[in-house]
Structure 1
Amino acid sequence: MKKISILLVALSIISCKNTDKSDADLAKEATVDSLKIEYAKQRVIDSMNDAMVRQQQAQQKEVIVVNQAASTPQKKKWSGAAKGAVIGAGVGAVTGAIVSDKKGEGAVIGGLAGAGVGAGTGAIIDGKKKKD
């Protein structure tokens, strides 16, 4: 019986506590709860906006990469005739200078002859490449 009476006294003390909240406290809690909900909504909106910005930036980068690739000029390659003329002129000039008694005159004549032969040989090679 002692145990039951102690239990009843403890329950009555707990139940007599003032659990009523004032209207001001309830209003504060409602305000805090609504602010928490608004913050959560704003976080979702911000994250969606960030995702959209990242997606737009990725698309812009792709466009820039495509434009850069299209606008890059290609180097022009020398034709076989041009290469042959330059090589022939160099070899002809050296050979003419070595063989001739008049070094300057021999170099000029050898250079011109070598350029002509080299250009002709390069043109022949270019013609064969075009057929293939």
Structure 2
Amino acid sequence: MPHIALLLSGPADPLLTRRAVDTLAALTQATLGKQPQVIAVTVQYIPDDAWFVGGQSLATLGLHAFNLEISVTDETNTKAEKARFLREVHAAMAQMHGPLHEVSYVHVVDARAAAYGYGGKTQEHRHQQAGV
């Protein structure tokens, strides 16, 4: 775990994609303590003229934006860890994809262990099998 879904404004950019994936994986490992071998990332691009904030397109505003949703098993991270993750993701994205509109979202989804997993097994099952 976890899965990260990243939306970026603008045209597809393979170099930005690679940089974003590497940065997000590193931040997820460092701030949320997740294992790199189970961090999955998907990236999609939305044209600037199809992304609106406050009724104005990013193309009109001359800014970029992102939306990141990361699913983690509930109760595996503290509020402080999640707040740090939000801050560090926003700062990294501003550096990589600026100028960045402030209204760029990060959503840490706390998924229940019995309703979330990979490889056909829930995280609850993995926890019980580990004997923790």
Q: Which structure: larger Rg? A: 1
TM-score of the aligned structures, taking structure 1 as reference length: 0.22
Indicate the structure with greater helix content.
1
Tell me: higher relative CO, structure 1 or 2? Use CA pairs within 8 A at least 6 residues apart: 2
TM-score of the aligned structures, taking structure 2 as reference length: 0.22
Indicate the structure with greater strand content.
2
